Structure 1
Amino acid sequence: MQISFDVHNYMETLVGQVLAQEKFTANLDHEQIADLACLALVQLKPVYIRHDIDFLSALPEDRLVVLKVAAQDAVDSALPMILNDQRKDRDTDIPIVFTHPRLDDESELEWFEKPLLKPKN
């Protein structure tokens, strides 16, 4: 098994769908889109899956809408950092990134996040 091929973060797919919109592809270069993807993804809770079709067939429609809205919001909140890039020389300056993830570590796990096996006590 190779994790990079067999397992992926579904939020990458959703962020990729947002970034494929013409308002991003027409106005940003490849480097800016890559930076925007990173800044958006760091704000989102990862959803690791193996097969999109299996995941989507068991995912309620309202939950998919929530995930899509979260991806759009993450991109929208990261966009000003890309548009207002203050670095004069992007290749040598080291960026400082402040993020405010919306993760709630105290929230109950979703059905796809719950471990399959109970830990032995």
Structure 2
Amino acid sequence: MSINNNIRNYYEQLVAEEILARLPGSQDAGYLADIACVALNHLPPRYIRHEVDMAFYMSPDELHDIHQRVKQAVADAIEFIASHRRDDLE
């Protein structure tokens, strides 16, 4: 029995949405994935089975805090990847 298809990190979708909002257009998929990995590694894991699980248990203040943390993590990740990008990998 596999549980992998039944759980996910709540932050993954939020980080992906924030990256696409900040970097619209045709960015390299590897570059976007690098940003997502760095950002997610700076956020605490919040595993859920259903989106409604988070909405039910979070206050509006907690939800606002999560969105602010995602924005900061993505901004920091973009800066980090930009300053550490290797030209030979492109």
TM-score by length of 2: 0.86
- Name 1:44's counterpart in structure 2: 43
Report the CA distance between 1:86 and its aligned residue: 4.3
- Indicate the structure (1 or 2) with the bigger Cα radius of gyration: 1
Count the aligned residue pairs.
90
- 1:20-78 Cα distance to aligned partner (Å, 9 max, x none): 21x31326321110000000000010001111112212211110111111011001011
Q: Provide the aligned C-alpha RMSD in A.
A: 1.8
Q: Mark the runs of 5 or more structure 2 residues left unpaired by the alignment.
A: none
- Name 2:13's counterpart in structure 1: 13
Structure 1 pair 16–86 and aligned structure 2 pair: CA distance change class (3 A): closer
Hey, which bits of structure 1, 4+ residues long, moved more than 3 A?
none
Q: Which structure 2 residues correspond to residues 99-114 of structure 1 after superposition, within 5 A? A: none
Structure 1 pair 73–32 and aligned structure 2 pair: CA distance change class (3 A): same
Identity of matched residues, %: 32
State the AA in 2 paired with 1:2.
S
Structure 1 pair 4–20 and aligned structure 2 pair: CA distance change class (3 A): farther
State the AA in 1 paired with 2:36.
A
